[in-house]
């Protein structure tokens, strides 16, 4: 019953989205307000069907209805409720349904938010969104159908992948990631609408930018959560391995960040419209590439879902939208003509251009490195690997260049400046940069890249605060008192600007923290018998003993350690070695003791009776990475809060009042 109902809902959504897409495109071509209304209705209908279908699936999961194939696949009466709820996205079919759910909400929300505006663009946008919706509905209805019936229904299920039941982060990382990925569909639709219409007006920039910024915030936080999860759960002491699926999440983030910056110049000077639109399209296309990489089984990755027939289908969709985007761009990019010019290449505008360049090179490098083994295998039939050493070597210089621009870009004024003004803008932050460098050196930093990062980072931080200070200083000069001036300048009127600089401040900390935690990291491998101690990085570690614990899906050996500093006990740490029934190799769970200055990380290498082989890692400033990324997200959210649009209309006292009737 439930399965049949679910299948019906999905088939209905295929129908609704396909019809809606046709109607919307027709409405756009004919500029029909009636057509727009119908497009909106179809958009809401599609969303409603997706939400309902997801609700039906969650209901089936929670009631353990094993006659539904997906529930039979990942459900289990033996797991806690939260695991049952999140198993919606734990396996392939359910995760595509989840994708459709989020897409529906985004489409409905954006349509409703813009229901009375931008009537020339919205039909094209809705048409594009519903076309994507149609594809995903088709996937859910066909190759990845979670609603198939199982007859006779089994009495029990295997539960989701045990690795996914390990940590609470599993609850929040995938939804955040989907909110980021799927959200890129919306600006893609807006960009397609602008191209189809043949123009990109100033008033359309606001929704275009907002629709890009919201998923960007989610994606930023999601990527960080992924790194944090790997760090806390996998036991190898790192947070980023340049795994193909990790790279797949980074690629759209890079192009979206570039697009956000490009949009600023577009707004100020009316240039770079073509570039901005291309970057927005690329962000969406890369999310589809990313989903292909994760689900096709082509790439060797920790994250890969099991192989299925879904790969070729996604690839066909990717090919179609790639061609659509390229052809649309080629046809219309010249009509998004440049309405402005820049006064000087050495100015803030010029720096935005260079910024775009480095982001594109960064994206290209990560993409090439990820797909290169495929290329070689296709051409020469031989297998080769492109791993961490390659990416670290190539990305560090590009990242450092971006950090440099983070400082120099906002320091330069807009437009043409005299040499004297330029020096006045560029030289003072060097002092802060030098101070940061000296502090780092005093703390023991000797690695050249890290020292350069500290120099550029200090510089950029100075510039960021100086820019934040600017509007506040103007108000203080006028005579306002401090607190109200602060709130007014930053949070009431200057949200976009302030939010942007908060993001920059967070980004600087992320750069520095990554550099420091990677290069100042020390580790030691030691074998301890029970009662034995070792001293490392300021702590004394004493092995207390082991404990065996058997759980339904895994067998764990827990090793207990006492951590002391100068004789005073600080904490106990309990890293584990887990043998899962479903996996060939054992997987360790590390224990992490985080303080503001550093993380003390214990991971078991091997354990036998009273002897344990222990890996101890001391990593400074790791906690700063997570916090700083959250700061970046907060900055994005601040910038997102819409300003009330102010339109000044000067009406003389004796003017007739404008009443709705007269206008209508």
Query: Which 51-90 residues touch another protein, going by CB under 8 A?
Result: none
Q: Which is nearer to another protein, 16 or 616 (CB)?
A: 616
Closest CA to 634 of 491, 506, 488: 506
Q: In angstroms, give the least distance from the CB of 103 to another protein.
A: 23
Q: Choose, by CB under 8 A, the member of 82, 117, 198, 531 that binds another protein.
A: 117
Say how many residues touch another protein, by CB under 8 A: 100
Indicate the residue among 85 and 323 with the shorter CB distance to another protein. Answer: 323
Q: Note whether 340 binds another protein by CB under 8 A.
A: yes
- In terms of CB distance, is 117 or 421 closer to another protein? 117
Q: Using the rule CB under 8 A, which residue among 444, 596, 647, 653 binds another protein?
A: 647
**Judged by CB under 8 A, which of 38, 147, 178, 292 binds another protein?**
292
Closest separation in Å from C-beta 505 to another protein = 27
Residues 6+ apart with CB under 8 A from 637: 217, 499
**Minimum CB separation from another protein for residue 326, in Å?**
3
Residue 95 and residue 73 in contact, taking contact as beta carbons nearer than 8 Å: no
Query: Of 58 and 574, which CB lies nearer to another protein in the complex structure?
Result: 574
Residue from 605, 634, 637, 640 that binds another protein (CB under 8 A)? Answer: 605
- Give min distance, CB of 354 to another protein, in A: 6
Shorter beta-carbon distance to another protein: residue 374 or 535: 374
Of residues 431 through 450, those in contact with another protein by CB under 8 A are: none
User: Which residue from 118, 295, 462, 598 is in contact with another protein, where contact means CB under 8 A?
Assistant: 118
CB of 331 to another protein, least distance (A): 6
Residue 337 makes contact with another protein by CB under 8 A: yes
With contacts defined by CB under 8 A, name the span among 52-60, 79-87, 367-375, 510-518 that binds another protein: 367-375
Answer for which of 81, 151, 306, 341 binds another protein (CB under 8 A) is: 341
- 């200057």: which residue's tokens? 494
**Residue 506: which of 633, 412, 398 has the closest Cα?**
633
H or E element: which one contains 605?
strand 598-608
C-alpha distances (whole Å) from 136 to each of 40, 47, 89, 551, 629 are: 19, 12, 15, 38, 31
d(CA 370, CA 299): 9
Q: Which residues contact 612 (CB under 8 A, 6 or more apart)?
A: 527, 528, 543, 546, 559, 604, 606
Q: Using CA atoms, how far apart are residues 130 and 122, in angstroms rounded to an integer?
A: 12
By residue count, the chain amounts to 664
In the complex with another protein, which residue's Cβ is closer, 83 or 200? Answer: 200
d(CA 152, CA 429): 72
Smallest separation, CB 649 to another protein (Å): 5
- The nearer residue to another protein, 324 or 469, going by C-beta atoms, is 324
Please tell me whether residue 119 binds another protein under the rule CB under 8 A.
yes
Residue 111 near residue 37, CB atoms below 8 Å: no
Q: Is the dihedral of CA 410, 416, 419, 420 positive or negative?
A: negative
Name the one residue in this structure whose structure tokens are 């759960």. Answer: 233
Where in 226-255 is the site for another protein (CB under 8 A)?
235-238, 241-244
Tell me the two tokens of residue 637. Answer: 């959210």
Q: Does 304 interact with another protein (rule: CB under 8 A)?
A: yes
Compare residues 152 and 652 and give the one whose CB is closer to another protein: 652
What whole-number distance in Å separates Cα of residue 283 and Cα of residue 320?
Answer: 16
Helix (H, G, I), strand (E, B) or coil at 543: strand
> What sign has the CA pseudo-torsion 75, 81, 83, 87?
positive
Least distance between another protein and beta carbon 426 (Å): 18
Task: Walk across the sheet containing 611-620 and list its strands.
Answer: 522-529, 611-620, 598-608, 591-594
Which span sits near another protein by CB under 8 A: 97-105, 212-220, 450-458, 580-588?
A: 580-588
* C-alpha closest to that of 231 among 606, 521, 447, 527: 521
Q: Does 418 bind another protein (CB under 8 A)?
A: no
Packing angle, helices 495-519 and 622-640, rounded to 10: 170
Contacting another protein (CB under 8 A), which of 353, 434, 563, 630? Answer: 353
Distance of CA 173 to the CA centre of its chain: 10
| Residue 374 near another protein by CB under 8 A | yes
Instruction: Characterise 598 by phi-psi region: left (phi > 0), alpha (psi -120 to 50), beta (else).
Output: beta
Rounded to 5°, the CA angle 274-277-279 comes to 105
Which range touches another protein (CB under 8 A), out of 113-121, 137-145, 429-437, 455-463? 113-121
Decide if residue 300 touches another protein (CB under 8 A).
yes
> Which helix (H) or strand (E) segment is 557 a member of?
strand 554-565
* Window 514 to 573, contacts with another protein (CB under 8 A): 523, 525
Part in contact with another protein (CB under 8 A); list of ranges 61-69, 140-148, 364-372, 527-535 = 364-372
| Least distance CB 397 / another protein (angstroms) | 9
Q: How many Å separate Cα 308 from the centre of its chain?
A: 26
């Amino acid at each position: 019953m439930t399965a049949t109902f679910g299948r019906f809902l999905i088939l209905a959504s295929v129908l609704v989205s396909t019809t809606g897409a046709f109607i919307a495109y027709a409405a756009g071509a004919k500029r029909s307000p009636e057509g727009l209304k119908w497009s909106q209705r179809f958009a809401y209908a599609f969303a409603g069907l997706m939400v309902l279908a997801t609700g039906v699936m969650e209901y089936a999961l929670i009631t353990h209805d094993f006659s539904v194939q997906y529930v039979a696949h990942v459900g289990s009466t033996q797991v806690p409720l939260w695991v049952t709820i999140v198993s919606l996205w734990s396996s392939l079919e359910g995760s595509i349904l989840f994708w459709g759910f989020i897409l529906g909400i985004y489409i409905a929300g954006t349509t409703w938010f813009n229901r009375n505006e931008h009537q020339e663009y919205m039909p094209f946008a809705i048409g594009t969104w519903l076309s994507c919706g149609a594809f995903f509905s088709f996937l859910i209805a066909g190759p990845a159908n979670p609603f198939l019936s199982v007859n006779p229904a089994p009495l029990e299920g295997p539960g989701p992948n045990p690795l996914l039941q390990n940590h609470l982060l599993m609850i929040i990382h995938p939804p955040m990631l989907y909110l980021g990925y799927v959200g890129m569909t919306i600006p893609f639709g807006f960009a397609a609408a602008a191209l189809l219409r043949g123009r990109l007006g100033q008033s359309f920039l606001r929704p275009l930018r907002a629709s890009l910024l919201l998923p960007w915030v989610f994606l930023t936080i999601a990527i960080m959560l992924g790194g944090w999860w790997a760090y806390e759960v996998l036991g190898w002491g790192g947070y980023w391995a340049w795994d193909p699926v990790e790279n797949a999440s980074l690629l759209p983030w890079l192009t979206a960040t570039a697009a956000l910056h490009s949009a600023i110049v577009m707004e100020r000077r009316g240039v770079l419209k073509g570039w901005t639109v291309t970057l927005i399209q690329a962000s969406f296309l890369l999310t589809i590439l990313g989903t292909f990489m994760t689900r096709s089984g082509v790439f060797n990755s920790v994250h890969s879902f099991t192989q299925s027939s879904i790969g070729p289908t996604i690839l066909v969709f990717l090919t179609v939208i790639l061609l659509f985007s390229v052809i649309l761009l080629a046809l219309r990019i010249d009509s998004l003509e440049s309405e402005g010019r820049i006064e000087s290449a050495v100015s803030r505008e010029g720096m935005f251009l260079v910024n775009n360049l480095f982001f594109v090179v960064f994206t290209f490098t990560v993409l090439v490195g990820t797909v290169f083994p495929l290329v070689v295998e296709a051409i020469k039939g031989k297998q080769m690997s492109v791993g961490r050493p390659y990416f670290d070597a190539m990305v560090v210089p590009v990242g450092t260049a971006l950090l440099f621009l983070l400082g120099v870009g906002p320091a330069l004024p807009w437009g043409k400046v005299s040499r004297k003004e330029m020096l006045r803008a560029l030289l003072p932050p060097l002092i802060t940069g030098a101070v940061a460098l000296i502090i780092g050196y005093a703390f023991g930093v000797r690695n050249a890249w890290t020292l350069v990062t500290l120099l550029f980072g200090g510089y950029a931080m100075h510039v960021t605060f100086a820019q934040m200070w600017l509007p506040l200083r103007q108000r203080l000069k006028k005579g306002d008192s401090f607190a109200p001036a602060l709130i007014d300048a930053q949070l009431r009127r200057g949200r976009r600007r302030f939010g942007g600089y908060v993001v920059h401040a967070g980004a600087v900390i992320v750069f520095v923290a990554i550099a420091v935690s990677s290069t100042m990291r020390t580790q030691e491998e030691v074998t301890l018998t029970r009662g034995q101690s070792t001293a490392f990085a300021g702590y004394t570690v004493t092995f207390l003993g082991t404990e065996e614990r058997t759980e339904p899906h895994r067998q764990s050996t827990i090793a207990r350690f006492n951590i002391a500093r100068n004789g005073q006990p600080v904490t106990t740490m309990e890293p584990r070695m887990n043998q899962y029934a479903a996996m060939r190799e054992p997987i360790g769970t590390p224990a992490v003791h985080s303080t503001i200055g550093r993380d003390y990380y214990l991971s078991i290498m091997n354990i036998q009776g009273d002897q344990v082989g222990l890996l101890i890692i001391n990593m400074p400033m790791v906690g700063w990475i997570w916090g700083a990324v959250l700061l970046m997200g907060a900055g994005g959210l601040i910038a997102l809060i819409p300003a009330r649009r102010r339109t000044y209309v000067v009406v003389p006292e004796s003017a007739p009042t404008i009443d709705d009737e007269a206008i209508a």
